Copies of this chain bind each other. A is one copy, B any other.
Amino acid sequence: MQFLKREKMGRPTRWSPTPEQLMFLEEMYRKGLRNPNATQIQSITCHLSSFGKIEGKNVFYWFQNHKARDRQKLKKKLLAQMNQQQILAQYPIDAHSTTTTTTNSNNNTLFHCPTTDQYQICPLTSTTALLQEGEIKEASSQVMTYLYPMDLSKPADQNMENCMIRPYGKDWIVMMNINPNNLPYCVNRPLKTLPLFPITTTDDLKDQTTSSTSLSL
């Protein structure tokens, strides 16, 4: 009954994550997941389907969008800092993989490394410089903490032992819906893929939460 309201006469509506789904996705993201492969998407989808209707593409899009908007928010913030006052950073630049740079009036440049997906604030001319003390340093280091969430770099196979489906690179096949109204609800039963992503939070992770939270003030 309540579903009918949402669907509005059979027309497809866009997916809207339930609080549980959102919480789980954000947990995955916070742990460092950025570009989930097909297997991971499938597992996540199956898991989250027990909380409500969801498709693989929803998970896929969620990570795409979340990463992109996280990044643009962060970049905006860093640029604002740079424009507010002079920051001298000490982070070396990976010349090979750096592509996008933005320079402000103080000759500070915001580098973006696409391979590691990290930002680096650097003065334009010198490659090494002193790091300024005080508030800016704190904020800056917080940012850096946030920018290196890492982990999850372990091959997906490690976590997928008890999954029926063997991971195989990033191979996808694109399929259409067979059953329009009742999508990949994943049989609506508790799945054995459920424990693949333990949500146990370590102290280390808690710290990251704190920094990222204080950053977003």
Contacts and interface: CB of A to CB of B under 8 A. Distances in A.
Interface of A: 12, 37-39, 41-42, 55-57, 60, 165-169, 171-178, 180, 183-184
Given A41-B174, A168-B177, A174-B175, 15 more contacts: A12-B168, A37-B176, A38-B176, A42-B176, A55-B174, A56-B173, A56-B175, A165-B176, A168-B180, A171-B176, A172-B174, A172-B176, A173-B175, A173-B183, A175-B175
In the assembly, how many copies of this chain are there?
A: 2
A171 B180 contact: yes
B175 A167 contact: no
13 contacts: A38-B175, A38-B176, A41-B174, A42-B175, A56-B174, A57-B173, A165-B176, A166-B180, A171-B177, A171-B183, A173-B175, A173-B184, A174-B175
